[in-house]
Amino acid sequence: MLILKGTALGANYIEKEGHCYYFNDIGCDINDARDACQTIFGNNQEGKLYEPMTSRIYDMVFGAFSSKTSSQVWIGAHDTTNEGQFTYFSGGPLQYANWYDNEPNDYGSGEDCVEIYTTHAGQWNDDGCNTIQPSICEKVEQGE
Ligand code: MAN
Ligand code: CA
Ligand code: CA
């Protein structure tokens, strides 16, 4: 039923270049957000928090979800392993970063997870991983 592929997607889903993205507006800490992406998209290495790799794709994904009301939204990067060394949850250093002014700052007792500031043109902040907020999931389509 290829013809349904686009139209069957709900309002919180978009599909771009063989990847599907989902805006999860249920507030979660980072671990629950990661689990939710697997629940939504499958746990066979398919569903994960969105891991931005290029500005071109990031601008498309952020643009599609920028009207969402939440001001802070989880994506799939962290520095829990080595402070100051941000990596994707899938592994490897960031290929692309979009930090807000003076971020990341590991504020207070420490901040090790990466969020989008939707109120600051989609630039990023490091925040405490226990913060409860929405998130963006990604699925790489089979065969891509
Ligand atoms: C401010 C800044 C940020 C920090 C948050 C934590 O906005 O210091 O870097 O992450 O506070 O709430
Ligand atoms: Ca940190
Ligand atoms: Ca910060």
Cβ(16)–Cβ(57) below 8 Å: yes
* CA-wise closest residue to 19 among 61, 56, 54: 61
The reply to whether ligand 1 has any atom less than 6 angstroms from the CB of 115 is no
| Comparison of pLDDT for 4 and 78, the residue scoring more | 78
- Distance between CA atoms of residues 128 and 106, nearest Å: 8
Give the model confidence (pLDDT) of 58-77 as tens digits.
999 999 998 887 899 999 99
Length, in residues, of the chain: 144
Judged by its nearest atom, the ligand closest to the C-alpha of residue 110 is 2
Give the model confidence (pLDDT) of 87-127 as tens digits.
999 999 999 999 999 999 999 999 999 999 999 999 999 99
The reply to whether ligand 1 has any atom less than 6 angstroms from the CB of 127 is yes
How much distance in Å is there from the Cα of 13 to the middle of ligand 3? Answer: 28
Which amino acid residue places its CA nearest to atom 12 of ligand 1? 127
